[in-house]
Structure 1
Amino acid sequence: MPLKAELHCHIEGAATPDLVLKQAQKYGKDVSHFIRDGGYVWHDFTSFLAAYDAASDLFRSEDDYARLADHYLTSLARDGAIYSEIFTSPDHAAKAGLSPQAYTAALGAGIERARAKTGIEARMIVTGVRHHGVESIEAAARFAARCGHPLVTGFGVAGDERHGDVEDYVRAFEIAREAGLGVTIHAGEFAGWESVKAVLDHIRPSRIGHGVRAIENPDLVRRIAEQGVVLECCPGSNIALGVFNGFEDHPFPRLRDAGCKVTLNSDDPPFFATTLKREYDNAAAHFGMSEKALTGLTRTAIEAAFVDRKTRAELLARLNDGRR
């Protein structure tokens, strides 16, 4: 089994239905409208976001968030992952009645707990949400820049790509860059290739969340390859949400063959009936990737990770030695 690394997972979206049911019991809430037969219920992107928010609303205390991070990362390590980056959301913290600082510290405590048990390394990417507006995104960037938490190493923008204009987020990314944070932004998922071009033109990220709709424009694919921008691909998520009909239609192999740096990620794993392990298994089964090729994807992820040089060298040494 190849060692794995993940760059693209929303921590609230990593909450398993079992964990959410326990949280619902804790707070006396009914979840039958979005969890049935042990799985999440949704039918399109809008209803997925509603289910996501409903599950997120059941994480309210610092202990809840520490448990969530520990639970996810421990399961990831069990499946052979040595590194993970999680997207965090100050907006969810505010809804829970927590300060961004308390929320981040709690997730950090969960990360440390999982590392002590399993050896998995993890970092946090503070994330603004497009459909919450520009002011909210800039506030998230300011928090990321000033929070001082050693495990906050990146800033990103997620949410519904159909909202807002990329040019409006330039200042937020300038704030993050000036603070030395790595930057990534979702594009080319529900919006077409134009959204990928827009982020390359205006944001100049080192990584793009998804980015797979770039396949619609061969010149853009060449540009991504030439600039070495890393794509955080999430095939299972894309197929579950209907962006592509199935693995046979997914552009992951074509992007890779075109020289793009690609990685495998789970996005919001239990919502899409996937795990990072399943993404690697599916790449072997549907994209014909060997264990050596899959290990190459892990190497790409570690090389693109928002970590210091020493940590990167240690992770690469573990990968080279095959050490969990």
Structure 2
Amino acid sequence: MPLYAELHRHLGGSVVPRILWRYFQRQTDPLTHKFADYDDFEEFYTRSRNTLDEYLELHTLVEHVQTVQTLPYFIYRLIRGAYIFENLAYLELRYTPYLRTSEQLSQSERIDQMAQIVEIVGQASQVQDYPMVTSQILCMHARLPYAVNKAIVDLAAQRKDYVCGVDLAGGDAHYGERLAEFVGLYQYARSLGLNTTGHLYETSDGCYPELLPYLMRIGHGIHIPLKYPELLKEVAQRQQCLEVCPTTYLKTGTLEDIYQLKVVFDSCFEAGVDIAICTDNAGLNNVRLPFEYENLLTQDIIDFEQMQACQDAAFRHAFAWPHQQHPASLLTGLLKNPRDEVVAANGTPRTKD
């Protein structure tokens, strides 16, 4: 049984449609009146969009209900599904904590409440029945003011017990006018000893080489091999890993066909650039991580050897994985020589009959 590491999963987009629909029904949310039944809602929630911005609008559907009171409800179900149906051994959840605070508060009060959000997410992620290593990545946001984004970086540095890194989200096409500001924030994050990733080169409008030197991993990054393959040498030298989320690019209209990713994988493997395969928004995309691997295999985009390399890369580049080895290696040690010996009740080994 393979065990997986998920490096790029958004808290907002991770709620599967059935869980979200049941929540809306129990809360008698007016949204349910817009749909005839669950099937109608699922079709709306998971269908493809024309652009990344249109796709990201769906995050607001979930963000406004992920509050101090409800976050444990959603996270418990997220962890349960990830453990049972996806065989995850490691999960990094990313989100913008400011967008889970109360809109009734002032900006400074919402900044203060972010610490409570991080605590709630951290506590709710520790589910004894479904043991896996979890950590948080806090997302700065392209549409939030500088003061909020800096506070997010400061909070990440203060709560390294729960937080393993920072990200920049909100649509990579919107960075341009504030590029110097975001460069400064990443410089600040690195000065605090924080791990960094960022949504970059996801779309053809989000290609900013100025940000690349400050990232340890690259969120998506598919337009580096697709449009700027000359950058792959630098990416390899920095030992940066691409977080590739195959289904997302079809859902956002970024790619027309999944087979276009073959250029991405072939170019990266040739250049020595690691790729971690991820889901991005498992709920919105209606996909689980093992399927992303299987689909790439059946579409002849990668082979089994490359699949294993991506699985290994995910654990190697995980910001908070506490072991030097892939979990399969740990299991091998536990299960060593199971055919040759069994342990007697008194603890002495005896030959199996």
TM-score tier, shorter chain, comes to 0.7 to 0.9
The alignment partner of 2:253 has SS state of: coil
Normalised to the residue count of structure 1, the TM-score between the two structures is 0.87
Shift of 1:243: 1.0
Measure how far apart 1:37 and its partner are: 4.1
Following the alignment from structure 2 to structure 1, what is the Cα–Cα distance between the partners of residues 248 and 63?
18
1:48 aligns with 2:60: no
Q: Which amino acid aligns with 2:87?
A: G
For the residue of structure 2 that corresponds to 1:73, the secondary structure is helix
2:350 equivalent in structure 1? none
| CA–CA distance in structure 1, aligned partners of residues 218 and 156 of structure 2 | 18
Please tell me the residue identity of whatever aligns with 2:219.
G
Change in CA separation of 1:295 and 1:30 when aligned onto 2, cut-off 3 Å: farther
Q: Deviations over 1:263-299 (max 9, x none)?
A: 1000011212222121111122124544453232122
Give the C-alpha shift of residue 246 in structure 1: 1.3
Specify the alignment match of 2:90 in structure 1. Answer: 83
RMSD: 2.4
Does the CA-based 8 Å contact 1:14-1:72 persist in structure 2? Answer: yes
| Structure 1 Cα separation of the partners of residues 233 and 141 of structure 2 | 29
CA contact (8 A) 2:173 2:206 kept: no
1-structure distance, mates of 2:94, 2:122: 12
Paired with 1:295 and 1:29, the residues of 2 have a C-alpha distance of 44
Give me the whole-angstrom Cα distance separating, in 2, the residues matched to 1:243 and 1:47: 12
For 1:87-106, list aligned pairs within 5 A: 87-95=94-102, 99-106=113-120
The AA in structure 1 aligned to 2:25 is Q
Alignment pair present for 1:136 and 2:148: yes
Q: How many residues were matched structurally? A: 313
- Partner of 1:318 in structure 2? 327
CA-CA distance at 1:100 after TM superposition: 1.0
For 2:72, the equivalent position in structure 1 comes to 66
**AA of the residue aligned to 1:54:** L
Give the match for residue 194 of structure 1: 207
**Are 1:277 and 2:290 matched, yes or no?**
yes
**Which moves more between the two structures, 219-228 or 179-188?**
219-228
The 1:191–1:95 alpha-carbon spacing in structure 2 relative to 1, beyond 3 Å, is farther
**Preserved CA contact (<8 Å) 1:192 1:214:** no
**Are the counterparts in 1 of residues 49 and 253 from structure 2 also a CA contact under 8 Å?**
no
Identity %: 19
Whether the aligned pair in 1 keeps the contact of 2:136 and 2:163 (CA below 8 Å) is yes
How far has the Cα of 1:183 moved from its partner?
A: 0.6
CA contact (8 A) 1:303 1:312 kept: no
Of 169, 172, 180, the match for 1:167: 180
Partners of 2:49 and 2:251 within 8 A in 1: no
1:213 aligns with 2:223: yes
Kept in 2, the 8 Å contact 1:2–1:291? The answer is no
Change (3 A) 1:72 1:256: farther
Q: How many Å separate the matches in 1 of 2:119 and 2:301?
A: 41
Specify the code of the residue in structure 2 equivalent to 1:155.
V
- Aligned letter for 2:207? E
With over 3 angstroms needed to count, the CA separation of the structure-2 counterparts of 1:135 and 1:174, relative to structure 1, is: same
**Distance in 2 separating the partners of 1:25 and 1:212:** 38
Rounded Cα–Cα distance in structure 1 between residues aligned with 2:151 and 2:265:
37
Provide the residue aligned with 1:267 in structure 2: 280
- What letter matches 2:224 in structure 1? A
Q: Is the 8 A contact 2:68 2:101 kept in 1?
A: no
Contact 2:172 2:205 in 1 (8 A): no
